[in-house]
Structure 1
């Protein structure tokens, strides 16, 4: 077993994988929603990691960090087996990985040649995604790319990654000054409690109310009597300082759930949020959403992404 934790774009993090598992993860990346592998020392050390990104069957962009941004290096490789050996040697505490690739210190945020107005718009889109606290690094990069029409505003994936990288660093620095427990942490604790009380409780679930309501039943566990969620737009509103809207409902065997059942779920949601010291407003009407405001939404970024 290797004393590392490995994260990919899809699936759970893997703690202490063996060499074969790590090699398999590296060899498969490049297609669909499986573009990167991030390896962290176990136990995790802040800002010490090795990661690689690949689009399709193109070259591997490999990066390692050994501390802050001044200790961030990048290299490229066309050879999947070379990348595998670099990761294995690094994970085993070896030294040959240091000279196996042409490592160069990199300024993560530099985008020479990109129009200032394009960069400013890209930065704003990235900040919107970062403020939610749910998006991984590759997801934020994709958000930035998707915000522009390539025919009108050329923005390469590498330029998007560089823009996001600089803002990601800024956000990590901000987080060091945050209180140990934030309002976003309290919301997460409330939802964890609801999930253990027979409710399908999901945060940052789907894009909007209509889609979430159509999808939530597929998340239902045996015995769940109802559900609670807030969707992407709700999260963005909370991150912009407008408070958080929490939506809820009851499951029914046939037809539509009764108002009494839906109100019962609403009361459970209010109780869980209130137990975390969050300010909750709800008049008991099962047709009205539950509002959590005022709320200082500060959710820490997914680590190692």
Structure 2
């Protein structure tokens, strides 16, 4: 079996020491890689050695033909169903997603894909992980939760375009709606009066895209740790909808396959330093049962135009799929060990 490792923020973690599905481990000791699927399956992996180092060199081969869990007609119908639910007062917003899958060629190593993403689509919360039952190459731009002692922060993204001019009033309204949801979620485990919004609807540029990003900050109440924090806020509000419980019920009916790590949480926790950062699992590839998978989606409101929302899912996926195919990087570079 290939050696397990995690690479994040220029650090390489090796020496698999523990693997558990109990998030309470994140408040114990050691350095952990963390993956939580959208459906709530928790994987915490402790590594014994963490040092500054590049990603392990590994080969990558482009995947086969991509297939989508929802085609254009199915996605458009889903958008229309969400708009009907909004009209009926069931939800205010919901994030409709689809999962792409393609055959994974023999010999393709997730570390090779992680290296391609680092060059072709650098991201603030990038992470590559290979461990028993988990193979992920993440290029997420979105912070789900960071923690420094008792101070926690979330930076939800809502609103995406190629340029600033593409961002619409609908995008700002959607962002504000999700900020309210995140404030309420954090308020369940925060000291009273500590929840703040230092930045609302700031514009951030990422490779090929611009986003509206807000920041929500709070201080954990005494006795609350990672298990309570995740339980209070998961799944991330930016990839579910509002009200969250109603959106989750609706999306379960509209999405034909599980999201897996997509829209879940991917990141690290240093239990000794009481620090950590978990990204929202977007712009994320994962290998599973001989397939490479990738998710994409869009937030749907009453003002959504169904075809435009489909195109937004294509826009979000396009650059990442090009990188995975080695396009623009040269086939020799894409395949090199």
Q: TM-score, normalised by structure 2?
A: 0.25
The structure number with the bigger radius of gyration is 1
Greater per-residue strand proportion: 2
Greater per-residue helix proportion: 1
Q: TM-score, normalised by structure 1?
A: 0.27
Instruction: Tell me which of the two structures has the higher relative contact order, counting C-alpha pairs closer than 8 angstroms and 6 or more residues apart.
Output: 2
